[in-house]
Structure 1
């Protein structure tokens, strides 16, 4: 029997989502973000890159401008107004102390209780190989959540240490533990992904709305099977 997912904690006010690329949060997670902002919680986004290597038909400088604009519009649909780009090079992010420092500094600036990132595992549910950027950023987020609270690690960041991260939630995990009911925010999740129109049109010949709707609604229905029949977004939750 498939185990049921637990509801995500609700006793928090600030969250920070840290991912590698524009669109990483929109493939499912944005519906949960919209549910949280609708409930009055504050969610901010930090992206390691501008996704400049993500559109084969568009040179990186032009792609970066397009994808940054699309990400800001996408975030706004989910109720997010704070979107930062750290300027790492798309496709060649390296896990290491430089990345951990940048992410720890972001956590210290935003002072979240909940940190969200994307699947850092080698694969997507054991089927498809994950990208180097996702693996590097996801793993660095898990480490930086602890680094941010240690005043002796990266002592030269502008913001003071922040040891208030209570959980790190992994979206897209092959072994989720918790979920968020997105019954009232699922449509916003679809529209959030649709804002990445240039990226979607470079990926597929399918109509962008049909593409976004099929994916986001499909993910939510699949998770519903483990969450009382309610459309949901799943996470693997690591308490700290």
Structure 2
């Protein structure tokens, strides 16, 4: 008997992925995105920063555009054409009203059934979480509620963006409650999407091999879920 139940995503048609940086979606989550786009679901990415402070030996003015280009390449591999990158400061992100407003605006524009994001907690399976991941997660959770409240950010309503409720929150890199079944092709596209961050990965000489890393995550979770490959997720009803 499988230890981890499979998540039924058949009712999802629109998924908004909200993360702090270029590459955050590529540590397994993009394999699920490849599955969804392959099934005809509509997926959009919202990145809160350009990740401009992420490469130590290159200045932010060069890194921001470079990482945006790498993210666009990663998106194309998994079938995503809707990519928006905001200009909040990398490394200094805060879950303040400006960030919540920007996320709530995108939620009301895109009207997703579910939001996917990375773990926002301080302690994560690989150690202590990045400050931007924590801030992005808290802001996204708050903004999901903000987007559904017509009496918050009334400027959005006045601009024709009606309140919208995203029903599900899908969290990667957390203690999983479910798994999304994947095909070998989904996993391969997930690997290639991570490899698309070429310059970023070259600046991290100790980074694990993308093929080994993503395949191990998906095959290990697959065994726990009783299938060949799967992505571990925490599912939260909103």
Quickly name the TM-score band, shorter chain normalised. Answer: over 0.9
The residue matched to 1:99 in structure 2 has which SS? helix
Equivalent residue number for residue 164 of structure 2: 163
1:29–1:233 contact (8 Å) kept in structure 2: yes
| Contact 1:8 1:178 survives alignment (8 Å) | no
SS in 2 for 1:179: strand
Task: Describe how 1:80-229 pairs up with structure 2 within 5 A.
Answer: 80-125=80-125, 127-157=126-156, 158-173=159-174, 175-183=175-183, 184-204=185-205, 211-229=209-227
Counterpart of 1:51 in 2: which secondary structure?
coil
Q: Aligned partners of 1:34, 1:162: CA distance in 2, in Å?
A: 29
Count of aligned pairs: 235
* Whole-Å separation in 1 of the counterparts to 2:160 and 2:189: 33
1:31–1:189 CA contact under 8 A, matched in 2: yes
Unaligned runs of 5+ in 2: none
Q: Equivalents in 2 of 1:227, 1:205: separation in Å?
A: 30
Show CA shifts across 1:33-71 (max 9, x none): 000000000000000000000011110010001100000
**2:72 paired residue number:** 72
Whose helix fraction is larger, Structure 1's or Structure 2's?
2
Stretches of structure 1 that go unaligned for 5 or more consecutive residues are none
RMSD: 1.6
Partner residue, 1:48: 48
Inter-partner Cα distance in structure 2 for 1:212 and 1:220? 12
Structure 1 stretches of at least 4 aligned residues deviating more than 4 Å after TM superposition: none
The answer to whether the 8 Å contact 2:107/2:164 transfers is no
